[in-house]
Structure 1
């Protein structure tokens, strides 16, 4: 009996060491909102996550954002760096955001082997319509110079043209 125990005990310990510890999800959703950049006349989704458990090097986050203008979802892929506890996902620019309408966001945490480690589904709701943005960027270039298409002869127009949804 001791002979079998002497063989089985090290084998059981070796197998236990190979298993990933079970516990909570590796990432926790900590924030979600729409960001409206008035100076540059664009809107984006912004989603923040926090690493709760260490993830293997080579892990990526793949996100799909519902397109408020319709059509295919907007996609984003970000590498997760083990030493950085926060993960920030900012979508490509979006148009046609409507106030108080929930928009779907799906996030997949994919390990280096291609396997899904975690899936997150959430919704982001805006507190404003995109129509609050100007139709054109108010500034251009690295020095944030006044946009000559908006500020004729350097003067502000009496009324700024506001963004409209094409759909």
Structure 2
């Protein structure tokens, strides 16, 4: 009977999730450059590894590439949610090959911190050489932006986004 108990204990131990007690794990991070709408954002994804108390939130701080205070974001976690997607407010002055800091906290309903994550996001392109200065389209039907397409014609060259710092 004792060997059966030992075997069951070993089997149960083998079924435990590896990865510790952290409720979320980083699964992706990048900069998104939306050429048509002329904006860039951070995009960070987290996968759920452990349950979290109902009513918990994720708070993120993104380094501001233009300088100044970090950009912040808060998202509520839901019981059925397996992936958390954090998209920052629009950013400017993103530089190629420069790491930008992102700090993430998982906060319980009582205000206690369940987890902290620190990472960096690095772009493979400069924003100033990638995005136009103005959105190419406007409105829900993606009409040509009249400030860019004068008389409905494309300019010979597009004015590119610039960084003043």
Q: TM-score, normalised by structure 2?
A: 0.87
Q: Deviations over 1:143-165 (max 9, x none)?
A: 00000000000000001000000
Q: Deviations over 1:7-42 (max 9, x none)?
A: xxxxxxxxxxxxxxxx42000000000000000000
Q: Is 1:101 aligned with 2:101?
A: no
* Higher-Rg member (1/2): 1
3-state DSSP of counterpart to 2:146: coil
- Where do 4+ consecutive residues of structure 1 move more than 3 Å? none
Which residue matches 2:38?
41
Q: Distance in 1 between matches of 2:54 and 2:144?
A: 44
Which residue matches 1:68?
65
TM-fit CA distance, 1:84: 1.1
TM-fit CA distance, 1:103: 0.2
Q: Distance in 1 between matches of 2:135 and 2:78?
A: 34
Aligned length, in residue pairs: 146
Structure 1 gap segments, 5+ residues each: 1-22
**RMSD of the alignment, in Å?**
1.0
Which residue matches 2:144?
146
Which residue of 85, 108, 114 corresponds with 1:111? 108
Q: Distance in 2 between matches of 1:81 and 1:139?
A: 35
Q: Deviations over 1:54-104 (max 9, x none)?
A: 111100000000000000000000001110100000000000000000000
Q: Distance in 1 between matches of 2:85 and 2:124?
A: 21
3-state DSSP of counterpart to 1:88: strand
3-state DSSP of counterpart to 2:85: strand
Which residue matches 1:162?
160
Structure 2 gap segments, 5+ residues each: 1-19
Q: TM-score, normalised by structure 1?
A: 0.86
